[in-house]
Amino acid sequence: MASNRTAPERSDALSPIRKLLHSSTLRNWLLLLIIWEIIGQLRLVADGALPAPSAILARLWVDWSDYPPHILATLEGASAGFLIGNALAIAAGVLFAIFPITQRLARGVNVALFALPPIAVSPILVITFSGMTPRIILAAIACYFVTMSATVTGIQQTDRRIVDVVRAYGGRQWKTLVHAQMRSAIPSILAGLRIAAPNAVLGSILAEFGGGGRYGLGVYLIGSLGRGEPDRLWGIGLSATVIAGLAYLLFSLLATRLTGASKAVTVPASPPATKAEKNPLVEAALITVSFALPFLLWGLLLSIMGTPAMIAKTPLGVFDYLFMMPNSPASLGKLAMALSETLPMTMIGMAMGLFFAFALALCSVLYPAIIRGFMPVALVTQTMPLVALTPLLVLILGRGPSVILWITVSVTFFPAFVTMAQGLSMVSRAAIEVPKAYGAGPVKQLWLVSIPASLPYLFAATRLAVPRALLGVMIAEWLATGKGLGNLLNQSRGYLDYGMIWSVAVVSVLISVLFYQIVVAIEHRVLTKRGMAPAQ
Amino acid sequence: MSAEHGITINHVSRSFKGRGAVVQALSDVSLACPEGSFTALIGPSGCGKSTILRLALGLDAPDTGDVMISGMTPFKAARSGKTGVAFQDAALMPWRTVEDNIMLPLDVLGHKRADYLAEVAKLVDLVGLNGFEKALPGELSGGMRQRAAIARALITRPEILFLDEPFGALDQILRRQMNIELQRIWMESRATTLLVTHGIDEAIFLADRVVVMQSKPGRISRVIDVPFDRPRKPALFSDPRFHALEKEIAEALDGQ
């Protein structure tokens, strides 16, 4: 009885604070704005690199006539890419879900598309294609993986009992897909589209960084970077954020309207399907094909398009450039040098971002009230084309190496935090209450339940962080520090050194894929041992 | 033999591989359910009673032996609309209204909905869901969902009805009520019925005979006939003969 009474008492003691914080999300934002205004007015950060919100708005008002063509151009690239990328993604997702073998064959392509740092391929796209095409392609790529995995997950997570009912009436693949799987995948697909929408905006902007075209928010941003007008830069950044946020909001509303009434009625209790026995020969063949497929597609695409070999390097062309030419050693040397500058920064930045995210996510378990004020801020960053805002950080932090770390930490921290905090919030209350019932304190509860239960989310966050970290470092190098892969890419663009542009792109994609695969391998080992499934 | 139009299970074995060990879910099981009979399968968890049902529905195939439904393979019988099924946990589609859920088998079998509108109204009435035709499953209570699932199982006027612990998720009181209603519904349709259940009282109250199964390996250990006349009244639950039968089945389950 005594222990029964302490629980409500404690929450009573906390509730005034909690209420204050809960109703204060709005107030927090206001506070942030006021502090920002003061800092801006007093020119406290890097001699005015962070202008006051009022100054940014005033400048936005003055510049307003410049915006429409830029916004329209970005929207055009983003929405065309959004449509094409998602159509392909949903079709691919359905195919993968119905015929799992196709997913295994396409794994190489999928991982490459997920892990490729857009900034690395944007120069390639700009030299191989013209007009809006590079933007559309990059926006489509930015959508593809999210929506594809959402479709596969949605279809695979269809309530097995519902599938059984359809099959019990003699329905096969097609009927099951039409009556059960597609419909039950809709919430998941919409959730994917919600993330894909701001991604498409970001993809288009990153392609604009790579050059080509006079209009677009990315073009505008890069063009204004050299002019030393922070208030204009911030105005452009804010407009990009607002556009991406609106895209996110649109699909959130759509999702709630369409799926509000049809939540699952009961919890499915059927066991997961048993795995078929593996034939080592077939396995090896599958892995080989899956690895070779991206290279085959790359060569095939170029030969279909008929771009001159001087500009468009096939896999063989890149190999020639790096190993068979007279100045191959020099090129390899430059590449190795750049790598040795980029890799340590990527690792350190990613480790720091993940560490902060994990620490803060664990705090959110210990002090739910305090974190509640921060979560909305973190969620908003999900919709921000954060990477596209790096020029603003360059402005504030200057061009030293610290800017790289800041950018990398900030692009990895937020998505990792959101993933982990959401994962931790899904740990069942009953599981936490068992140690509590035996008198375990908060730290012990963390250690016994929350940390082990959140492992899948820690890995999911790490998978997410890998390509972002590399992207962040490369952008910082390109725009600010003049070192590493990002800088090499930018330089080669200037020298029209096509071989090097392709080599940097290929190397950065390979590195990103390699890191990703390492994380997946560790995840697989750790989680299998503990009988856990990876989180999406 | 009228088994031609019922369910025939002939020397069926089925094993599963899981985590390195092979589990013999069914070992040489034979069972014949004549046309119009009501058979209850009862046994401990893992004795293979749900496996029998999945085999009979064509959701799974036996390693050896065969299963015939109305003289056809289970898949053919399912395709021709001869079977109806209700699972544990209603398994309604959360996005379809009650009416649309009841008509799901028609969509799968490719029958015209328009031909069945009177049948749907009759079934809604039979299971007592009048006024809830347009409701979504999320808005119904557990018992109402289960009744919708029963109506769905009956929509094709099945010759063979499979019930997999249809009331397993309900509380004891609701379960009794549903048992009484199911008997009434069954007496109107007279479909050959195979009921998988955990409840001894439910099995006796509903079935013509109770098939007791044992696990490791899954097999039939006894078949006990239930002599009571129909319609059986709720008072039967407290009849001494009912209790005697309950005791007999409980002992058979204990392996005596």
Q: Which of B14, B85, B93 would best serve as a mutation to test chain A binding (most A beta carbons within 10 A)?
A: B93
Check residue A265 and give its pLDDT.
42
Asked if the model's pLDDT at residue A1 lies above 60, the reply is: no
The 3-state DSSP composition of chain B as helix, strand, coil percent (nearest 5) reads 40, 25, 35
Which amino acid does the sequence have at A254? L
Residue-wise pLDDT for A263-274, tens only, equals 444 433 333 344
Least confident interval from A86-100, A340-354, B10-24, B183-197: B10-24
The structural domains of chain B, ordered by start, are 1-82+158-171+185-256 (3.40.50.300), 89-157 (no CATH)
Asked if the model's pLDDT at residue A18 lies above 60, the reply is: no
- Read off φ and ψ for residue A516, nearest 5 degrees: -60, -45
Q: Is B87 on the interface with A (CB under 8 A)?
A: yes
Check residue A66 and give its pLDDT.
87
Q: Is A104 on the interface with B (CB under 8 A)?
A: no
Q: Is B94 on the interface with A (CB under 8 A)?
A: yes
**Alpha carbon distance A441, A432 (integer Å):** 11
β partners of residue B214: B219
Contact A265 B90 (CB under 8 A): yes
Q: Is A166 on the interface with B (CB under 8 A)?
A: yes
Contact B79 A170 (CB under 8 A): yes
**Mean pLDDT rounded to a whole number for chain A:** 80
Check residue A16 and give its pLDDT.
43
Asked if the model's pLDDT at residue A383 lies above 70, the reply is: no
Contact A263 B138 (CB under 8 A): yes
Whose CA is closest to B141, among B180, B90, B87? Answer: B90
CA B254 to each of CA A532, B51, B133, B167, B220: distance values in angstroms, whole numbers, following the listed order: 36, 21, 44, 23, 13
Going from N- to C-terminal start, the domains of chain A cover 39-260+282-312, 321-536
Provide the b/e sequence for A401-419 (b: ≥16 CB within 10 Å): eebbbbbbbbbbbbbbbbb
| Stronger pLDDT, A45 or A409, i.e. the higher one | A409
Residue that has been written with the tokens 């999210």 in this structure: A146
Contact B75 A170 (CB under 8 A): yes
ipTM exceeding cut-off 0.90 for this assembly: no
| Stronger pLDDT, A7 or A203, i.e. the higher one | A203
> Averaged over A392-405, what is the pLDDT?
77
Select the residue of B57, B58, B93 nearest A162 (Cβ to Cβ). Answer: B93
The contacts of residue A227 (CB under 8 Å, 6+ apart) are none
Contact B87 A165 (CB under 8 A): yes
- Read off φ and ψ for residue A246, nearest 5 degrees: -65, -40
Contact A274 B18 (CB under 8 A): yes
CA A51 to each of CA A57, A67, A227, A396: distance values in angstroms, whole numbers, following the listed order: 10, 20, 15, 10
Check residue A129 and give its pLDDT.
84
A-chain residues within 8 Å CB-CB of B93? Answer: 162, 179-180, 183-184
Per-residue pLDDT of chain B (256 residues; tens, 9 = 90+): 444 678 999 999 998 876 667 888 899 999 999 999 999 999 888 888 888 988 998 888 899 999 999 889 998 888 888 889 988 777 888 888 899 999 999 988 888 989 999 999 988 988 888 999 999 888 888 888 888 998 999 898 899 999 988 888 778 888 888 888 889 888 888 899 999 998 899 999 999 999 999 988 889 999 999 999 988 999 999 999 999 999 999 999 887 6
The answer to whether the peptide bond before residue B231 is cis (omega within 30 degrees of 0) is yes
DSSP assignment of A490-504 equals: HHHHHHT-HHHHHHH
B-chain residues within 8 Å CB-CB of A167? Answer: 57-59
Residue A170 backbone class (left: φ over 0; alpha: ψ -120 to 50; beta: rest): left
The contacts of residue A251 (CB under 8 Å, 6+ apart) are A190, A193, A194, A197
Asked if the model's pLDDT at residue A11 lies above 50, the reply is: no
**Alpha carbon distance A193, A382 (integer Å):** 13
Check residue A94 and give its pLDDT.
92
A-chain residues within 8 Å CB-CB of B145? Answer: 265
Cβ pairs A/B, distance under 8 A: 81
SS3 A323: helix
Closest chain A residue by Cα to residue B155 = A169
Residue-wise pLDDT for A442-463, tens only, equals 778 788 888 887 888 888 888 8
Contact A169 B145 (CB under 8 A): no
Q: Mapped to the 3 state alphabet, what secondary structure does B182-247 carry?
A: HHHHHHHHCCEEEEEECCHHHHHHHCCEEEEEECCCCEEEEEEECCCCCCCCHHHHHCHHHHHHHH
B-chain residues within 8 Å CB-CB of A180? Answer: 93
Q: Is B240 on the interface with A (CB under 8 A)?
A: no
End-to-end CA distance of chain A: 42
Decide: A230 and A125 in contact? Cβ < 8 Å. Answer: no
> Averaged over A219-244, what is the pLDDT?
82
Does A321-536 match A39-260+282-312 at the fold level? yes
Q: Is A171 on the interface with B (CB under 8 A)?
A: yes
H or E element that contains A271: none
Check residue A13 and give its pLDDT.
40
**Alpha carbon distance A68, A66 (integer Å):** 6
Whose CA is closest to A426, among A365, A375, A381, A373? Answer: A365
Check residue A272 and give its pLDDT.
39
Contact A265 B94 (CB under 8 A): yes
Select the residue of A168, A180, A269 nearest B59 (Cβ to Cβ). Answer: A168
Q: Is B97 on the interface with A (CB under 8 A)?
A: no
Q: Which of B15, B95, B170, B194 would best serve as a mutation to test chain A binding (most A beta carbons within 10 A)?
A: B95
Check residue A75 and give its pLDDT.
92
| Stronger pLDDT, B218 or A369, i.e. the higher one | B218
**Alpha carbon distance B10, B71 (integer Å):** 12
- Please report how the helices A230-259 and A53-63 are oriented relative to each other, as an axis angle in degrees rounded to 10: 90
Check residue A25 and give its pLDDT.
65
Fold assignment, A321-536: MetI-like fold (1.10.3720)
Q: How much of chain A, in percent, has pLDDT values that exceed 90?
A: 13
Q: How much of chain A, in percent, has pLDDT values that exceed 70?
A: 86
Select the residue of A164, A175, A262 nearest B136 (Cβ to Cβ). Answer: A262
Instruction: Give the closest-approach CA distance of B75 to chain A in angstroms.
Output: 6
Instruction: Look at domain A39-260+282-312 and name its CATH class.
Output: mainly alpha
- Read off φ and ψ for residue A216, nearest 5 degrees: 135, 145
A-chain residues within 8 Å CB-CB of B89? Answer: 161, 266, 269
Q: List the B7-18 sheet strands across, edge first.
A: B21-33, B7-18, B64-69
Q: Is B92 on the interface with A (CB under 8 A)?
A: yes
Contact B83 A168 (CB under 8 A): yes
Contact A262 B94 (CB under 8 A): yes
Residue-wise pLDDT for A176-206, tens only, equals 888 888 888 888 888 888 888 888 988 898 8
Select the residue of B17, B75, B91 nearest A162 (Cβ to Cβ). Answer: B91
Decide: A161 and B91 in contact? Cβ < 8 Å. Answer: yes
**Alpha carbon distance B70, B158 (integer Å):** 11
Whose CA is closest to B102, among B131, B137, B77, B141? Answer: B137
Decide: A134 and A217 in contact? Cβ < 8 Å. Answer: no
pLDDT confidence tier of residue A6, bands split at 50, 70 and 90: very low
**Alpha carbon distance A142, B249 (integer Å):** 63
Contact A164 B87 (CB under 8 A): yes
User: Which residues of chain B from 159 to 188 reach within 8 Å of chain A, CB to CB?
Assistant: 162, 169
Q: Is B74 on the interface with A (CB under 8 A)?
A: no
Closest chain B residue by Cα to residue A181 = B93
Asked if the model's pLDDT at residue A371 lies above 70, the reply is: no
Number of residues written out for chain B: 256
B-chain residues within 8 Å CB-CB of A274? Answer: 16-18
